[in-house]
Amino acid sequence: MALALVLCGTFVGLVVLALFVFGLRRRLIQRSGGTFDCSLRWEVLAPQDAEPTGKGWSYGIARYRGDRVEWFRVFSYAPRPRRLLEREAVEVLHRRVPEGEEELALLSDAVVLACRHRGTHVELAMSEDALTGFLAWLEAAPPGQRVNVA
């Protein structure tokens, strides 16, 4: 009986610790400011090749860092970003509202932005306010940088 209580207590303690570390990691990412909630789908088919599905979306946090956006998975312990989007390599193709199964996979107010990053098709889903900030960040490139914003 005592062993069962110790095991249950250890399990509950580990769960609480894991949740605390998730929260601490998110707080450390957001500490420097310039962050927004952003779901990401990497290496999707070109928009004309397939209909959008709810599959492949990963929920995350994006952070502006100079001339790049760092994207972190929410459900990860990794201290480093999972993806980097360089301003000069991002080409915006179009924006759309989530369709079909995507409405269930994404946040309720999300707008999907289809982009190309170094030849790879990428879709970002974010709120309308975050989208405005992201497009403004792209357009605010230093003189001489090629920026393509649809």
Q: Print pLDDT tens along the chain (150 aa).
A: 888 888 889 999 999 988 888 778 778 777 877 889 999 998 766 555 555 555 789 999 999 998 899 999 988 888 889 999 999 899 999 999 998 888 888 888 899 999 999 988 999 999 999 999 999 999 886 766 665 665
Q: pTM here?
A: 0.78
Domain containing 5: what range?
1-31
Q: Determine, yes or no, domain membership for 144.
A: no
Q: How many CB atoms lie within 10 A of CB 26?
A: 14
Which H/E stretch holds residue 61? strand 60-65
Q: Partners of 117 in the beta sheet? A: 90, 120
Residue 100 lies in a domain: yes
Q: Is residue 148 part of a domain?
A: no
Least Cα distance to 30 among 4, 56, 62 occurs for 62
* 71 neighbors 123 (Cβ within 8 angstroms): no
Q: Tell whether 150 is covered by a domain.
A: no
What's the gap between Cα 127 and its chain centre? 11
CA-nearest of 146, 143, 140 to 116 is: 146
Residue 116 and residue 71 share a domain:
yes
Q: How many domains does the chain have?
A: 2
Same structural domain, 56 and 15: no
